[in-house]
Amino acid sequence: MSAKNPTTIPRRQLGRQLREMRQGAGLSIADAARLIERGAGTLQRLEKGENPRIRLLDIEALCRLYDASAEKVEALKALAREGDERARPVDERVWWHRFDDLIPDDFETYMSLEAAAAQVIMYQPDVVPGIIQTADYARALERVFFDSDSPMDLEQRIQVRMQRQTAITRRLAPVDVDLLVDESVIRRVAGNGKVMAAQLRKLADTPPNVRVRVLPFNAGFPLGCAPGPFVMLRFPIDSNTKEPVEPTTVYVESYGSRLYYDRTDIVDRYVAAHEQLGCVALSETDSKYLLRQVAKEFEA
């Protein structure tokens, strides 16, 4: 990634959306650029998230060309404003948004990044991550968090959660997952003992592309602090450039906010943290044994 013109999360998300819309319209980059009277190189940089100067007029013209809905137009313009470096310090590489901000729910920034990733590296200190939850475990959590949902709405949320998991089970290029979970994850009850037993057995019986290790209580605090949950997303290598199609991105979610980082020094810090935690975690074999033992305890 060029230090002079780094790619940011909003620009990458904007570019991905525009590329999918163009492909859905059956247009080449050259055709789309010609129809909005812009250069093909300009549109290509926009789709790759490499253009630090984004014209809202271009976004509006492309949306008209692709017959986008009014809601999608506003969502893309919001991303364009976030991604335009003229609106913020040039060295700022963090994109923050709250649950109720400009980006509509159906934009699902993290889910699109996760689906596009080649590898997902996770640390979870308190809950099984959604990409590997059972339906009953997810239902036990969502029923409390979305306590005003109708039964139908709740089930739709569960279906979305289950759909995410196709990323690790698909036949073509399934996502590689490296998951570290704290021992508290496997002992804190969601739902009841039956729900927990099934969830732990799922963690113990993952496909070969999913590596699960448990950080035991007796490991103490390997980092000297509690880092909180985090996810690192690594992307496929471009066959022409031999570089990742997008820079490694760190995703941090708390109770009321989501943070995305792709600045190299911040990413490196999380890489080092994951390595330190991994050094004191149980092996995959020992983790599977512990998961099955605790599942038996819940069943009893």
Residues 10, 15, 17, CA angle at the centre, nearest 5°? 95
Q: Which two tokens stand for residue 215?
A: 């950080």
How many Å apart are CA 42 and CA 30, to the nearest integer?
Answer: 10
pLDDT digits (tens, 9 = 90+) for 112-146: 788 788 999 999 999 999 999 999 999 999 999 88
When the pLDDT of each residue in the chain is averaged and rounded to a whole number, the result is 84
Find where tokens 């923050």 sit. Answer: 96
* Residue ranges of the chain assigned to CATH 3.30.870: 108-299
Where does the pLDDT of residue 106 fall: very low under 50, low under 70, confident under 90, or very high at 90 and above? Answer: very low
Note the CATH number of domain 9-92.
1.10.260.40
Annotation: CATH topology of 108-299: Endonuclease; Chain A (3.30.870)
Tell me the CB-side half-sphere exposure of residue 240, using CA atoms within 13 A: 1
Contact 229, 241 (CB under 8 A): no
pLDDT digits (tens, 9 = 90+) for 148-198: 888 888 888 888 888 888 888 888 888 999 999 999 999 999 999 999 999
* Residue ranges of the chain assigned to CATH 1.10.260.40: 9-92
How many Å apart are CA 101 and CA 105, to the nearest integer?
Answer: 9
Does residue 298 or residue 300 have the better pLDDT? Answer: 298
Tell me what pLDDT residue 85 has.
55
Q: Positive or negative, the Cα torsion across 89, 236, 131, 166?
A: positive
Tell me what pLDDT residue 108 has.
62
